[in-house]
Amino acid sequence: MWLPIIGWTFAAALEQARFRPMVRTIEQQLRERPDTSEHWGADPPRQEIAAAVRSLIAEELGWPNDHFIPEDPFGIAFWGHQQGCEDVQTIMRIEEHFSLRLPDSEWERFWRHGTLGEFVERLIRT
């Protein structure tokens, strides 16, 4: 019964090859963006929270920088494109950093339909 092991390894390699062009496109867009701090408004608490979220996302998920804007889709910014579990680790780091615990249903809502700006606004209300 060695065939399933080979099958899973092959499937993982194919998935990486399929998603790599998308990851490169996102990485290129981030590299080409100048610093995006001014996109997050002039309100100091919003600036501070947005900077922390952007930094954690870039650090945990391996993006080339933290030049995210409020309109960026949450699901793309939080995409665990390297090994597959980075998104969960990032969520745990954010919950730890902000001393909060959001229900899974709320994380899923952001993942499917939210933007980073909406997520930051949610953190401000916490």
CA distances from 48 to 51, 80, 108, 113 (A): 5, 24, 24, 24
pLDDT at residue 114 is higher than 60:
yes
Q: Is the pLDDT of residue 1 over 50?
A: no
pTM of structure: 0.82
pLDDT higher than threshold 50 for residue 18: yes
Identify the residue with better confidence: 8 or 66. 66
Looking at residues 14-20, what average pLDDT do you find? 65
What percent of the chain is modeled with pLDDT above 90?
60
The overall average pLDDT reported for the chain is 86
Q: List pLDDT tens digits, range 82-103.
A: 566 667 888 899 999 999 999 9
Q: How high is the pLDDT of residue 84?
A: 61
> pLDDT band for position 64 (50/70/90)?
very high
If 0-12 CB within 10 Å is exposed, 13-18 middle and 19+ buried, where does residue 122 land? middle
- Beta-bridge partners for 52: none
